[in-house]
Structure 1
């Protein structure tokens, strides 16, 4: 349809309107349903646009449509050339974008609008970690023949583990942008996700995509059965053995790159993190001195002196990258104030953490035998230890 708009359909007296919402609403006038004519490379093509009355696309709400192209041209590659040109025009609109796919039923569909590629250096990991992972992926992509010649399944698995808010998912997004790949997000906590559906979704993942399994530890524990009165009654949710088979079993497909994330590395059994399922395990932890310095310079370039002072003050505070970013947002163009106020911010942060830690401690119950009891030589002494929950 966009190609028809760009090439000005001849003889069209009926137009429709497509609305695209961004920061402002954009309108495209497109050929409406019915018959239209377009001239392409000297040949006239009849375009019939038919719209289904009752069937709609569940992801967008738009009715299903059929475009029928008819021509009398003797040129056998006319339609192929037209579709190739339309495809290049469509891809040009997504250049510099990352498409996020999510699974709907048993197929992948784009989720929302394509996102602008995230700069690779915008995610600050510890010294050399980002480049090490990027180089490993590039090496994998360039050695397909080496894998096939040795009979090794051509797939690669990565595990990013560490505390929340340290940049695991953000790094996958930045890496996809640098590679020119898209991202397929699989939610293992989906109540409708079964072992068969997981294996199928991994098998039909779009080409040039990174598959992201977030919070993979969810499939390790014993998941609660579905509510017998709910919409997923009778559905057997994903199991740990189903996850292992999908990653590295007989049904596992090749030519794919999987990134798994978890905040609870110790909860993962050795069967999941062995080579073949996890080929490279990367710890993405709290901010080191190098990360603190680079993060400051990311927001305030050329402020080397302030960056060193900032890194020295924050080095042993156990800050996550999300906390740092939130702090920097208060001082967008004020590096001096940012460095000067960090001490007070850290002090208030420590106080909040202490209060939270105290609130999380179990309440001490009253000692046993606190009620008055008549003294008796044969009565045992009451324990003063609190009850154990």
Structure 2
């Protein structure tokens, strides 16, 4: 019997015609469809890799920029990111960077095609930034997850290269750290003139701390270091910390304890989630708290507005939940206003006075501004400064030099105008 005869006999069969045959065909088709779907599921589960990068992850912007440089720039669908940069002369320039827009893009990486899908949830907001929630999903064939690790590492290195030789500042936004402004050109440590041995002592202490973590672990000492710089305003405390960060290739995380809405819990979270290799800076610590001995008679300028408590800060510095491998700098203009518990050893390990200009500082500042000046002229400037009989801050001396950039003689003759 041929196949045609067999089909003819089925169609003439009354049971088949009554629907049993059609049911069998339908059931067979359903089984085939289910089997095909199962095969696709197994294939996707074992032979397709996906990597989701949410917008809150630190590598999100790295990946977008890296994907663009790897070839997705050929796509016709782009988003623009505008940046402003300032040169040493003060001129501001504008640059435009194109990144893949919302949608699907393709690029090739190590002979593998990568599907990139950037999605934006219009009804879901990032509560800290107030912008729609975004994700980037990378899809590739294979089982080698190391490829994604290599991609992330390449993206990180590209991002680091863009900030090479620059200092990055972070500030707290909500419960996370966000980059503040564009990366700044590193300031040479030698450009901040402090008194004899002050800068060298702090640098040596920090280098010793960074290079000997095992010393702390072997002795059961918490691996963290706290510094307090105190002295009159305009004497170089903040400038020195910024230059120090450049010298050590660290980022600076500026935390304002007087910020409205900052709580003990959020402060603790921020201290524990600071970027790696960072210096946490608490400026003007005296403005947020007063000594408990004086609290009955002296009111803080922020009393009633600040929700961070002194006990909360103390716990962040060396409590059970305090983080390890941390470098903390605090600055104040009024050392006597600080609570003794805040500056005891273990919370503040090194205290350094950054004061008005000494003869050493005056001479070195004059040499830096007028490198061709003779030593006799330097000595004359120092003696003339001493004859004023008043304290001179480095900021005021530098401001005076700015008026007489090219004439050291005029700078000395007009010293009486120095404020």
The alignment's TM-score, normalised by the length of structure 2, stands at 0.76
Higher helix fraction: Structure 1 or Structure 2? 2
Aligned to 2:366: 296
- Partner of residue 377, structure 2: 306
Note the alpha carbon deviations across 1:267-319, whole angstroms, 9 max, x for none: 22332222111111100000001001111111111313322211111134210
- 1:6 corresponds to: 69
Aligned to 2:327: 257
**Equivalence for 2:83:** 20
Provide the C-alpha distance between the structure 1 equivalents of 2:214 and 2:372, rounded to a whole number of angstroms: 45
The count of corresponding residues between Structure 1 and Structure 2 is 339
Query: 2:414 matched to 1:345?
Result: no
Report the equivalent of 1:120.
189
Once the two structures are superposed, what CA deviation does each residue of 1:198-232 show, in whole Å capped at 9, x if it has no partner? 222212221101111111123225447876xxxx7
Q: How does 1:348-363 map to 2 (within 5 A)?
A: 349=419
Q: Distance in 2 between matches of 1:49 and 1:321?
A: 51
Change (3 A) 1:10 1:272: closer
Greater Cα radius of gyration, structure 1 or 2? 2
Residues 289 and 338, structure 2, Cα contact 8 Å, conserved in 1 = no
Q: Distance in 1 between matches of 2:130 and 2:260?
A: 24
> Partner of 2:341 in structure 1?
271
Does residue 1:103 correspond to 2:175, yes or no?
no
Change (3 A) 1:59 1:314: farther
Residue of structure 2 in register with 1:79 after alignment: 148
TM-score normalised to the size of structure 1? Answer: 0.81
Give 1:60 shift: 6.9
Structure 2: segments with no counterpart, 5+ residues:
1-63, 86-91
Task: Give the match's secondary structure for 1:309.
Answer: helix
Q: Tell me if structure 1 keeps the 8 A contact 2:71–2:108.
A: no
Q: Is the 8 A contact 2:223 2:324 kept in 1?
A: yes
Answer yes or no: is 1:335 the counterpart of 2:408: yes
Counterparts of 1:125 and 1:188 in 2: how far apart (Å)? 27
Q: Secondary structure at the match of 2:342?
A: helix
CA RMSD of aligned residues (A): 2.2
Counterparts in 2 of 1:307 and 1:6: CA distance versus 1, 3 Å: same
| Maintained 8 Å contact 1:11/1:36 | no
Residues 43 and 158 (structure 1 numbering): CA distance in 2 closer, same or farther, change over 3 Å? same
Matched, 1:179 2:244: no
Q: Which runs of 5+ in 1 are unaligned?
A: 350-389
Q: Contact 2:253/2:280 (CA < 8 Å) preserved in 1? A: yes
**Structure 1 position 250, deviation (Å):** 2.5
Task: Indicate conservation of the 8 Å contact 1:292/1:311, yes or no.
Answer: yes
Question: Does the CA-based 8 Å contact 2:289-2:310 persist in structure 1?
Answer: yes
Alpha carbons of structure 1 residues 240 and 28: separation in structure 2 relative to 1, 3 Å:
closer
